[in-house]
Chain A
């Protein structure tokens, strides 16, 4: 049960049941859709970028607790961040999730210092089938941010 406890920590269940920044944006904004056809996880993400800084963001979606929690945790931190810092955070997240290679950003002596709530998703590493669930929101955000600005 210990592995499951790690996977489904309180903070993950909280984000799953109370997803942050739920909804969509009006007006001019960047948008991307993402989905995992094999399991039914879906996201629609809206962001507004002004002078290289994310000033607003909203997310709609449905899917498993890992995908939705990851998306909600992402929404919790990106508003107010520069696009460059978001790219840096994305890379750290992907390294933590073993999607990309690099030095593990998480400091076991200072939990939460590097990636905040996102560190709760470390348990997913023991369930390789679910890693792409955790990544979906981030891949969708990357899509939205990579659109050419008029």
Chain B
């Protein structure tokens, strides 16, 4: 395993103690920690370049616009696409809502079908549920195979010409399972349906080339990839973005405003109403710079290595069940598990005493919990700044949890 532990000193919060012991942060699937360079970029923006964007004729306005559009170009380059195809939003959830209301409402009618997977995060479920109520379309669920991966073995029986949208996660925040992208893109193409990729976990954890994936839309969030909260991106194929209506009207997204109608600004500004979160965009750009400097291949390999080590050590703990693929090439660093009859909530409290931050609950995927027939799971999720030692601390804490619950 390449030693990335030197990176840790770039992240101020990782030097913290909790409950008198070093923080072992294993909750990056929920949100990631921020390197100093991201914090400095946002601070520097407010100290030196802050002004409103796009409209001003003064120097500061020009600098702010350059910073904002420069961030857009960085994010676009990071996912191998052009800046015109990247609209900033509040995050992946907002982006998917924009697609559902801006594209879905105009392209769905009674009897049409939207296909999602049972492992979707609520962000890639609830907007589609809402849209089916407005349009009379139906929501159909793909189930998982024995490896917890979206089952694409019999797509022809599900994907017929009633299907207009296939929406799926690039990487599950619960099981860690990746896609699979290709079969779903092919199935959609065969019936003229579009694909919407929830990239909230995929983009931070694997090298992605949006133009090559074959999907029509993709959504991802800055705070899941070392950037600030409050900003994310909506990517689309040019023709899809043209077909999409804006869901928010206001300043910045218009061209000409008359009394009785307005014309829209070109894509992507068409989807960015109001003053944008400029400092956050700058932070997002700095986050992308950081990841690019490390190299996404290195990030992905480190995550595979440490997740493989975690899975190995977790297998030493009796009565522990992992809900996700065992094959390390088919998964990312989100590892959901249960331990005996100890409720995940109790597990999280106990390991927290040893500084270990894991998540417990539904992980915003309640239908998946019901499908897996568990009330909730615990989840440890790994990223570039986690170390093998931190895995050891987690395992020891799990053995302690067994003792607390009288399991020896």
Interface residues of A, Cβ cutoff 8 Å to B: 1, 3-5, 7-8, 13, 17, 37-42, 62-66, 68, 127, 129-130, 133
Contact = CB atoms under 8 A, between A and B. Distances in A.
The dominant DSSP class at the B interface is mixed
Given A8-B404, A13-B406, A39-B360, A64 B345 contact: yes
B346 A65 contact: yes
A39 B405 contact: no
Nearest to A7: B349
12 contacts: A1-B353, A1-B400, A4-B349, A4-B350, A39-B376, A40-B369, A40-B376, A63-B375, A64-B345, A64-B346, A65-B343, A133-B345
Nearest to A40: B376
A81 B344 CA distance: 34
Q: Which 4 A-B pairs have the closest CB atoms?
A: A64-B345, A40-B376, A64-B343, A39-B361
A127 B376 contact: no
B113 interface: no
B228 to A, nearest CB: 23
Contacts of B346: 8, 64-66
Nearest to B343: A64
B165 to A, nearest CB: 27
Interface in B319-353: 341-346, 349-350, 353
Interface in B214-241: none
Nearest to B360: A39
Given A13-B405, A39-B360, A40-B376, A63 B350 contact: no
B404 A40 contact: no
B362 interface: yes
A130 B406 contact: no
A133 to B, nearest CB: 7
A27 B229 CA distance: 52
Nearest to B377: A40
Nearest to A10: B406
Contacts of A38: 361
A39 B377 CA distance: 9
A48 B16 CA distance: 52
Contacts of B405: 8, 13, 65
Contact of A130 (B349, B369, B400, B404): B349
